[in-house]
């Protein structure tokens, strides 16, 4: 895990700051190490700045805190506290308090290994800070451009005929290191890049075992009671061996696959690039390795070629299914949001249709309310009744939205309509509702209005129309049917017809 005290912006090499001619900074003590970086700038005139430092700062001071006649002991204590706090470097302004940098400060910085920069009178501390922020912004832009290019390259590799080795090969090239995909048993399935020595290879394989989930050999799934990635195990882990940075990522498919990366150095954005590769490999190994993606494709092809739903249901993995209609509380969902909803419901059979998302969920799976969504759930039915279940879910969703409930399930108890023969009930419904059929919105408005006990406001919400529109439609229904819609007997007969119509 990254250090929480380190800011998300890329650090600035100290040498890059020294190279700015407009600043005129000069290193007068401390190591000349090109690897030294600055994470931020802090100005302080405290004699002991330790409590105010987080680490990685370029500390700027004009020496206001230095007492008259301060000797080596004072500066030794001052510099040692900066080093103890993790300060990256000290910048000392030679104006307006001091004409030169105190010699005892130079000696203390040299002794403690703290880079000391002389800040000339013409350079303000705010100018130094601004230069650091600009260098950080440039580095951040370069990092984002590099990550974006890597994402595009990895996505293109995933679309190749040999997607898994192509993604691994492209990742190794982008990180200038070695990338390897381990199988559930630790077998090396694909590898690319400069292969390191045996010590590094063994260490990376051991790191992969740390993040690999506890997979049951019989089912290929996580054993009960283990979280993705294994109980108490991290989804990724990192280490450094023989000067090589090692990282292992547990792929999200739950099949025990692990991506390992060994690189001689870690550049900003490398973790993001490797994480993108891990996501792509999760999709590639999860769907195709388990066969679920192929099974769904087979089911679709058979339906298109004329097979019945009953013939293809077995390929989808269940005998009974529920249809779920869902609407988000916010804007219309995109395909990413729809896929995330399907994952939360435990199904990849998702159909984003405007503001509503339809999901086909196995009948033995309990559908619970989800934050940010309103759900309507059908009864569990066989493939032949899928269209009826779709209607049930749509009506349940409309009722959920009207009553502001997060979830409404279609009732499973026998209804009065079940006591009348289907053909007779349907013929009666057609005859009774015939005056309304010329305007499709009228039967649906009447059905919703009756289901909500004549509430104008809730019906308007359920149908996404104005309440005056509901009043006009209901008045038109009453006129066309020549019926008193306040009569409970009339309402009951109409409700019976609308349920069968």
In tens, the pLDDT along 463-498 reads 889 999 999 999 999 999 998 988 888 888 888 888
Q: How confident is residue 108, by pLDDT bands cut at 50, 70 and 90?
A: very high
**DSSP character at residue 345:** H
Predicted pLDDT of residue 78: 97
In this predicted structure, what is the pLDDT of residue 269? Answer: 78
Unique residue bearing structure tokens 């804007």: 331
Average pLDDT over residues 214-242: 53
Residue 294 to residues 38, 61, 298, 465, Cα–Cα distance (Å): 51, 66, 6, 42
What percent of the chain has a predicted confidence (pLDDT) above 90?
37
The predicted structure's pLDDT at residue 309: 74
Place 255 in a pLDDT band, splitting at 50, 70 and 90: low
Q: 217: pLDDT confidence band, cut at 50, 70 and 90?
A: very low
Question: What's the pLDDT score for residue 183?
Answer: 83
Report d(CA 463, CA 148) in Å as an integer. Answer: 43
Q: Give the CATH fold of the 416-500 domain.
A: Arc Repressor Mutant, subunit A (1.10.10)
Residue 83 has pLDDT above 90, yes or no: yes
Q: What pLDDT score does 233 carry?
A: 47
Residue 441 has pLDDT above 80, yes or no: yes
Helix 163-175 × helix 270-290 angle, to 10°: 170
pLDDT at 429: 79
pLDDT at 232 over 70: no
The end-to-end CA distance of the chain, in Å, is: 60
Residue tagged 């040299």 (tokens): 110
Percent of residues, the chain, with pLDDT higher than 70: 86
pLDDT single digits (tens) 127-179: 999 999 999 888 888 888 888 888 888 888 887 767 888 899 999 998 999 99
CATH architecture under which domain 12-134 falls: 3-Layer(aba) Sandwich (3.40)
Locus of tokens 């900003």: 268
Report residue 41's pLDDT band, with 50, 70 and 90 as the boundaries. Answer: very high
What's the rounded Cα separation, in Å, for the pair 117 and 95?
Answer: 14
For residue 424, give Cα distances in angstroms to 420, 421, 436, 499, 501. 7, 5, 20, 13, 11
404 confidence band (pLDDT: 50, 70, 90) = confident
- Which of 14-18, 176-180, 199-203, 270-274 bottoms out in mean pLDDT, i.e. has the lowest? 270-274
For the chain, the average pLDDT equals: 83
Would you state the pLDDT for residue 225?
Answer: 34
pLDDT at 74: 96
pLDDT at 419 over 60: no
**Contact status, residue 429 vs residue 500, Cβ threshold 8 Å:** yes
pTM above 0.85, yes or no: no
User: Strands 116-119 and 244-250, how do they pair?
Assistant: unpaired
Summarize the confidence of residues 263-278 as an average pLDDT. 84
Lowest mean pLDDT of 153-162, 173-182, 320-329, 429-438, name the range.
Answer: 153-162
* Closest alpha carbon to 91 in 114, 67, 70: 114
Give the whole-angstrom CA distance, residue 339 versus residue 356.
13
pLDDT at 334: 72
Q: Which CATH class is domain 160-290?
A: alpha beta
In this model, does residue 391 exceed pLDDT 80? Answer: yes
The more confident residue out of 361 and 300 is 361
- Which has more pLDDT, 216 or 60? 60
Q: Answer whether residue 228 shows pLDDT above 50.
A: no
* Whole-number pLDDT of residue 345: 81
Token pair belonging to 161: 């005929």
Q: Would you say residue 386 has pLDDT above 70?
A: yes
Q: Does residue 318 surpass a pLDDT of 70?
A: no
Q: If you average pLDDT over residues 326-341, what whole number do you get?
A: 78
The answer to whether residue 220 scores a pLDDT higher than 70 is no
pLDDT in tens, 165-196: 889 999 999 899 999 999 887 888 889 998 99
Band (pLDDT 50/70/90 cuts) for residue 221 is very low
Query: How far is Cα 332 from Cα 335, in angstroms, rounded to an integer?
Result: 10
On the question of pLDDT at 227 being above 70, the answer is no
């Amino acid at each position: 895990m990254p250090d929480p005290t380190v800011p998300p912006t890329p650090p600035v090499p100290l040498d890059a700051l020294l190279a700015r001619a407009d600043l005129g900074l000069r290193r007068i003590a401390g190591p000349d190490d090109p690897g030294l970086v600055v994470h931020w700038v802090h100005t302080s005139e405290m004699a002991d700045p330790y409590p105010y430092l987080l680490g990685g700062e370029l500390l700027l001071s004009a020496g206001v805190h230095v007492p008259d006649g301060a000797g080596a002991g004072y500066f030794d204590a001052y510099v040692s506290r900066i080093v103890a706090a993790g300060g990256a470097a000290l910048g000392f302004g030679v104006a307006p308090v001091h004409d030169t940098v105190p010699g005892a400060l130079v000696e203390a910085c040299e002794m403690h290994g703290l880079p000391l920069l002389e800040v000339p009178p013409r350079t303000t501390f705010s100018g130094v800070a601004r230069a650091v922020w600009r260098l950080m912004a440039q580095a951040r832009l370069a990092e984002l451009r590099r990550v974006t290019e890597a994402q595009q390259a990895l996505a293109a590799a995933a679309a190749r005929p040999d997607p898994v080795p192509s993604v691994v090969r492209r990742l190794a090239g982008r990180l200038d290191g070695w990338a390897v995909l381990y199988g559930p048993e630790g077998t090396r399935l694909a590898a690319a890049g400069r292969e390191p020595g045996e010590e590094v290879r063994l260490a990376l394989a051991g790191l992969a075992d740390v993040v690999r989930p506890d997979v049951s050999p019989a089912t290929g799934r996580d054993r009960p009671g283990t979280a993705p990635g294994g109980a108490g195990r991290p989804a990724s882990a990192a280490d450094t061996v023989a000067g090589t940075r090692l990282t292992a990522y547990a792929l999200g498919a739950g099949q025990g696959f692990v991506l390992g990366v060994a690189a001689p150095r870690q550049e900003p954005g490398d973790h993001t690039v490797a994480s993108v590769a891990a996501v792509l490999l999760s999709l590639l190994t999860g769907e195709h390795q388990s066969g679920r993606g192929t099974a769904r494709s087979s089911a679709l092809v058979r339906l298109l070629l004329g097979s019945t739903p009953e013939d293809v249901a077995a390929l989808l993995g269940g005998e009974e299914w529920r249809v779920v209609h869902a609407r988000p509380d916010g804007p219309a969902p995109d395909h990413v949001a729809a896929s995330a909803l399907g994952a939360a419901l435990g199904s990849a059979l998702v159909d984003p249709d405007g503001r509503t998302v339809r999901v086909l969920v196995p009948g033995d799976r309990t559908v619970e309310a989800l934050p940010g969504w309103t759900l309507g759930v059908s009864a569990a039915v066989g493939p032949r009744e899928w269209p009826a279940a779709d209607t049930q879910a749509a009506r349940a969703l409309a009722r959920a939205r009207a009553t502001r409930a997060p979830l409404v399930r279609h009732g499973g108890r026998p209804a009065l309509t079940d006591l009348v023969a289907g053909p007779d009930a349907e013929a009666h419904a057609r005859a009774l509702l015939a005056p309304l059929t010329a305007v499709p919105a009228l039967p649906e408005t009447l059905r919703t209005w009756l289901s909500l006990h004549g509430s104008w406001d809730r019906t308007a919400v359920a149908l996404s129309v104005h309440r005056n529109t509901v009043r006009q439609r209901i008045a038109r229904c009453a006129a066309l049917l020549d019926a008193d819609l306040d009569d409970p007997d009339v309402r009951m007969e109409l409700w019976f017809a609308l349920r069968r119509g």
